[in-house]
């Protein structure tokens, strides 16, 4: 069962000598995403890679899912970096790769650097001419730095994890457990979401089919970035694993976020599972498919299973198709969908419905998930009436955001249900972003800072009232992404027309802009991208501030945020 996967970590003596030499090396502080990829490389999970791909390998992988020498590998693995750093490096130079605290994890010996087109890469990687249809493709294009660095890696240490260290085994350690337990046939399964009774029945069925055991690889990223959801996800995975006999399933954490890249993702996961010692891999009919807005599949149904099956001779891992399971009320159990007879009562709860039930404090039945998992989810994801939330107001200067925010602040303080923080645009500019200008880059950075502060307030059960102009849709989406994992995010578009805002013009801003005294004023010579689907849209032209505040409070009551 053992594979040829090799870790890239130096012996202690060699690592010590390299640390001494590294004082003169240039450094790159890795993002959580980059650090997760480095951890996979260092541990041997991405064998046969011995470092970051060069330009020829990366291009070949995007085009044909093969390295330049012909070996099968579906995902490009190059280090993205800022232009100024990448352009300053020369072949043969050493680059220290550090975590967010400055600890050196590895040294990259540069083979080459090049400028890349992230959107073109995303189009090839996700197999889409229009990447805006795919959230993973959009995120890749937005988050990936413009330059790439290729080269071999010498590992100093794996990233440190204070959370669940006993579950963060290397591929070699996993294989050692397989040998001790006498496991010869092992089914690999990559979990990116919560697991319930349906998945339990499906895994038991698949393991029985191959007369083998199961390696459950659960995605687990950065604990600080993930917040309570991270810990709840791992604890629920532990409860799920303990519902199996000990000799049937092994749980292991893996820093592998899903790009939802369909067939490529399935093949990538299969290779990683092979490097952990698995002999079989479980592949869904619509594997790693985020589905389009109309709920139709983005990738051809069954294509992932076909790709992994066709690659068995090269990967050395056998594809097992996932068996669809349904809960049948008359049998009080999950059974293969193909065996459900006409007239039988089939029950289902979608992930979205499970989330809704948690948000509104509704029942989650035992047939759907074990009571202990439901209790864990309720403890970490309380009903909306006990969650923190952010009201993110956006609109032109003079639209009425600040006045509305102040009234809401008073209303929430009177309710005494949660701590309340007001993050008014002008106040934030004065105290948090005083050094920033009004360029697009700095405006986006200002909104990111507001989003981060709001996420911390929300995470800790408070109410954040944000009232910036926030003219750009992408920055508002970034703020939502920061807050939403920790509680409610209510985008409130104060949609007062420009003509009304100019009539009010309390700051004289529009008059100065029309006279050419100031530049870059939103709505005059800088665009305002109106929200397409805000939770609330108010025009204060004919609403008093008190009436507008009442509309907001009524919305919050309807949506369960106010008991």
DSSP SS3 for 328: strand
Phi then psi dihedrals of residue 446, to 5 deg: -60, -45
- Give the closest residue to 308 by CA, choosing from 325, 283, 339, 290: 283
CB-CB contact of 155 with 42 (8 Å): yes
Degrees to nearest 5, angle at CA 411 with 455 and 407: 85
Distance from C-alpha of 437 to C-alpha of 448, rounded to nearest angstrom: 14
CB-CB contact of 210 with 187 (8 Å): yes
- Please name the helix (run of DSSP H) or strand (run of DSSP E) that holds residue 430, with its range, or none: helix 425-431
CA 117 to chain centroid, in Å, comes to 22
DSSP SS3 for 391: strand
Contacts 24+ apart (CB under 8 A), 324-331: 324/202, 324/285, 325/198, 325/201, 325/202, 325/205, 327/197, 327/198, 327/367, 327/368
Question: 147: buried, middle or exposed (CB in 10 Å: 19+, 13-18, 0-12)?
Answer: buried
What is the pairing mode between strands 325-328 and 333-336?
Answer: antiparallel
CB-CB contact of 38 with 30 (8 Å): yes
Degrees to nearest 5, angle at CA 325 with 320 and 328: 160
pLDDT of residue 1: 47
CB-CB contact of 66 with 73 (8 Å): yes
Q: What is the DSSP string of 43-81?
A: HTTTTT--EE--HHHHHHHHHHSB-TTS-B--S---EEE
- Give the closest residue to 203 by CA, choosing from 258, 212, 351: 212
Structure tokens at 304: 């992932």
pLDDT of residue 463: 98
Distance from C-alpha of 347 to C-alpha of 140, rounded to nearest angstrom: 36
Cis peptide before 369 (omega within 30 of 0): no
What is the pairing mode between strands 488-494 and 389-394?
Answer: parallel
Cα–Cα separations (whole angstroms), residue 250 to 127, 240, 424: 34, 11, 50
Structure tokens at 143: 């988050």
- Give the closest residue to 429 by CA, choosing from 412, 413, 447, 411: 447
Structure tokens at 352: 């979205």
Structure tokens at 483: 């807050």
HSE, CB side, 13 Å, CA atoms: give it for residue 265.
24
DSSP SS3 for 321: strand
Q: Whole-structure pTM over 0.85, yes or no?
A: yes
pLDDT of residue 5: 65
Distance from C-alpha of 207 to C-alpha of 204, rounded to nearest angstrom: 5
CB-CB contact of 297 with 289 (8 Å): yes
Secondary structure letter of residue 9 according to DSSP: B
- Residue given tokens 């002999």 in the structure block: 279
Q: What is the mean pLDDT of each run of 10 residues along the chain (563 residues)?
A: 72 92 94 95 97 97 97 96 96 96 96 96 94 90 94 95 94 97 97 95 97 96 78 95 94 91 97 98 95 87 97 97 96 96 96 93 96 94 94 96 96 95 88 87 93 94 96 95 93 97 90 90 93 96 96 96 90
């Amino acid at each position: 069962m053992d594979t040829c996967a090799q870790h890239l970590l130096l012996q202690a003596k060699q690592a010590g000598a390299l640390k001494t030499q590294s004082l003169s090396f240039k450094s790159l502080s890795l993002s959580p995403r980059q650090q997760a990829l480095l951890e996979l490389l260092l541990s041997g999970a991405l064998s046969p890679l011995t470092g970051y791909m060069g330009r020829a390998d990366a291009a070949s992988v995007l085009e044909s899912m093969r390295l330049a020498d012909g070996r099968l590998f579906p995902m490009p693995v190059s280090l993205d970096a800022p232009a100024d750093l990448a352009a300053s490096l020369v072949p043969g130079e050493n680059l220290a790769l550090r975590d967010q605290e400055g600890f050196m994890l590895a040294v990259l010996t540069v083979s080459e650097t090049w400028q890349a087109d992230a959107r073109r890469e995303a189009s090839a990687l996700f197999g889409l001419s229009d990447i805006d249809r795919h959230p993973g493709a959009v995120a890749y294009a937005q988050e990936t730095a413009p330059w790439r660095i290729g080269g071999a890696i010498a590992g100093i240490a794996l990233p440190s994890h204070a959370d669940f260290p006993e579950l963060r085994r290397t591929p070699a350690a996993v294989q050692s457990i397989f040998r001790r337990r006498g496991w010869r046939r092992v089914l690999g399964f990559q979990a990116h979401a919560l697991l319930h009774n349906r998945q339990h029945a499906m895994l038991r069925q698949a393991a029985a089919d191959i007369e083998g055991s199961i390696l459950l690889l659960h995605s687990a990223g950065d604990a600080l970035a993930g917040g309570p959801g991270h810990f709840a996800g791992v604890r629920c995975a532990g409860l799920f694993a303990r519902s199996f006999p000990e000799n049937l399933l092994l749980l292991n954490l893996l820093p592998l976020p899903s790009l939802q890249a369909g067939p490529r993702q399935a093949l990538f996961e299969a290779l990683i599972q092979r490097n952990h010692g698995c002999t079989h891999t479980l592949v869904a009919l619509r594997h790693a498919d985020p589905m389009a807005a109309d709920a139709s599949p983005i990738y051809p149904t069954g294509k992932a299973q076909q790709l992994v099956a066709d690659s068995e001779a090269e990967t050395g891992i056998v594809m097992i198709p996932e068996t669809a399971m349904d809960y049948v009320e008359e049998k009080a159990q999950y059974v293969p969908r193909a065996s459900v007879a006409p007239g039988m009562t089939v029950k289902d709860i979608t992930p979205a419905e499970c989330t809704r039930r948690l948000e509104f404090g509704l029942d989650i039945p035992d047939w759907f998930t074990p009571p202990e998992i439901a209790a864990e989810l309720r403890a970490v994801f309380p009903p909306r009436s006990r969650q923190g939330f952010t009201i993110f107001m956006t609109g032109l200067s003079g639209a009425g955001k600040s006045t509305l925010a102040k009234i809401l602040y008073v209303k929430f303080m009177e309710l005494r249900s949660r701590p309340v923080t007001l993050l008014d645009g002008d106040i934030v500019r004065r105290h948090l972003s005083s050094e920033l200008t009004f360029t697009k880059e700095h405006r986006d950075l200002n909104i990111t800072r507001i989003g981060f502060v709001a996420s911390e307030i929300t995470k800790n059960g408070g109410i954040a009232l944000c009232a910036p102009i926030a003219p750009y849709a992408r920055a508002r989406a970034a703020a939502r992404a920061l807050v939403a994992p920790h509680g409610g995010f209510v985008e409130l578009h104060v949609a007062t027309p420009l003509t009304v805002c100019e009539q009010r013009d309390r700051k004289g801003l529009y008059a100065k802009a029309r006279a050419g005294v100031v530049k870059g004023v939103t709505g005059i010579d800088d665009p305002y991208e109106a929200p397409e689907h805000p939770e609330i849209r108010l025009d204060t032209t004919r609403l008093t501030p008190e009436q507008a505040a009442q509309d907001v409070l009524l919305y919050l009551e309807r949506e369960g945020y106010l008991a």
